[in-house]
Amino acid sequence: MRKLKFVGLLAMVVLLSMALVVGCTGGQKADEGDKAKDQEQTAEKPDFPTKPITYIIPFNPGGQSDVEARRQQPLLEEALGTKINITYKAGGGGAVGWTELIHTKPDGYTIAGINIPHIILQPIARENAGYTTEQINPVAIFQGTPIGLAVLKDSPFNTLEDFINYAKENPGKITVGGSGTWSGHHIALLQLQELAGIELTYVPSSGAAPSVTQFLGGHTDALFANSNDLVTHKDKIKILALGSEERFEALSDVPTFKELGYEMTPSIDRGVAVPPGTPEEIKSILEDAFIQIMENEAVREQMIEQGFVPLKMDAKAAQEHINKKQKEYSQLLEDLGLPEEKK
């Protein structure tokens, strides 16, 4: 009899701890009753937020989008006076999370991290990505990750010119690694091919980590990579060009594609968005909170040190940026007649 009691107790402990863990991971529902009572109320401003906000990360934990959200989480909680629950909805290179976002109630209590060019390229390249670029309603864009082209230290190429000249004489001979198809890296490669009139062999991996490993192991000749990865490995590689608008602080000796005469600024930019139809007043409260973080000097310094470009685009600037990039990329893909399967 005593044994049975013990087992019952054990079962309870297991169940309770389970409830706890689940509560931590997906607890937005459990916390809905919680009201943040000490909210300042003014006549013009809507009473927002009065309950926790869900911050969807459409990628796996540990990725850069996650790291960024975790960096913002305490500052957001302070600025908005409510709890921020980070939930992961990974899959389809972000598409699953973004589709989820546009179908949630547009009340400002669900926001999601967004990545450009993902939100532009997926709806173009896929038959049914689940969402359209227009349905993504940006609040802010806070971080840029310029894409650079690199070769190993012992490579014969010292400049972008060397690289392009060799490629012109040997079409398809240079293998270039990168992350994903119809992704930021892929589009950077297509742009360079188009602008320089060369042909490269693109060897995509499913993620930045495997493509960097393959490149460092010498399995591909060159690599398109994000600035933070380039900063991490800068002792082992030569960076031929970087996709920033101007020279980038953490890699100040690397020329930009633009200075070298190639009109391209490939970059992965991170921001945050709300569902379409979210009231403007609520959106602007969120926008203000993100602007506060973007102006935080400590956050800026950390970003630069880790190889990111801190950006400061409010909702309007973010929308304009997305529109500009969308035009640029759809034009490029149209010129190339790609992607075929969609036509």
Partner 1 sequence: MAEFLQYFAGAMGHIFNLSNFLLMTLGVAAGIVVGCLPGLTATMALAVLVPFTFTMDPATGLMTLGGIYVGAIYGGCISAILINTPGTPSAIATTFDGYPLTKKGKGEHALVAAAYSSGVGGVIGAILLMFLAPLLVKVALKFGPPEYFWLATFGLTIIATLSAKSLLKGVIGGTLGLLIATIGLAPIGGEMRYTFGFYQLQAGIELIVALIGFFCVPEILSMVEEVITEKKEIQKFKSQKGVAREVIVKLTKQPFLLIRSAIIGCFVGIVPGAGGNVAGLVSYNEAVRWSKEPEKFGTGVVEGVAASESSNNAEVGGSLVPLLTLGIPGAPPAAVLMGALMLQGMRPGPDLFVQHGDITYTFLISLVIANIVMFVLGFYGAKYVARLINLPASFLAPMIAFMTIIGSYSIRNNMLDVFIMVGMGLLGYILRKLDFHPGPIVLGMILGPIAEKGLVQSMMLARSQGSILEVFFTRPISIVLIILCLISAFWPMISEWNKKRRGESQGVSSNG
Task: List residues binding partner 1 (CB under 8 A).
Answer: 3, 6-7, 10-11, 14-15, 17-18, 21-22, 24-26, 60-63, 66-67, 70-71, 73-74, 87-93, 95-96, 99, 125-131, 172-175, 180-182, 201-206, 209-210, 212-214, 216-220, 232-233, 235, 302, 306, 341
Which residues are paired to 186 by β-bridges? Answer: none
Q: How far is the CB of 226 from partner 1 (least distance, A)?
A: 13
Most distant CA atoms of the chain, gap in Å: 84
| Contact residues for 43 (Cβ-Cβ < 8 A; gap 6+) | none
Complex with partner 1: residue 51 or 126, whichever CB lies closer: 126
Least Å distance, CB 30 to partner 1, is: 13
Give the nearest distance from C-beta 40 to partner 1 in angstroms.
26
Residue 14 vs 336, nearer CB to partner 1: 14
Which is closer to partner 1, CB of 207 or CB of 279?
207
Nearer to partner 1, 6 or 105 (CB): 6
- Are 80 and 255 contacting, i.e. CB atoms less than 8 angstroms apart? no
Q: What is the DSSP string of 167-186?
A: HHHSTTTSEEEEE-SSSHHH
- To the nearest whole angstrom, how small is the minimum distance from the Cβ of residue 221 to partner 1? 9
Residue 74, classed as helix, strand or coil, is helix
Using a 10 angstrom Cβ sphere, with 0-12 exposed, 13-18 middle and 19 or more buried, the burial of residue 254 is buried
**Minimum distance from residue 109 beta carbon to partner 1 (Å):** 15
The residue among 205 and 256 lying less far from partner 1, judged by its C-beta, is 205
Q: Which residues pair with 295 in a beta bridge?
A: none
Q: Is 312 left (phi over 0), alpha (psi -120 to 50) or beta?
A: beta
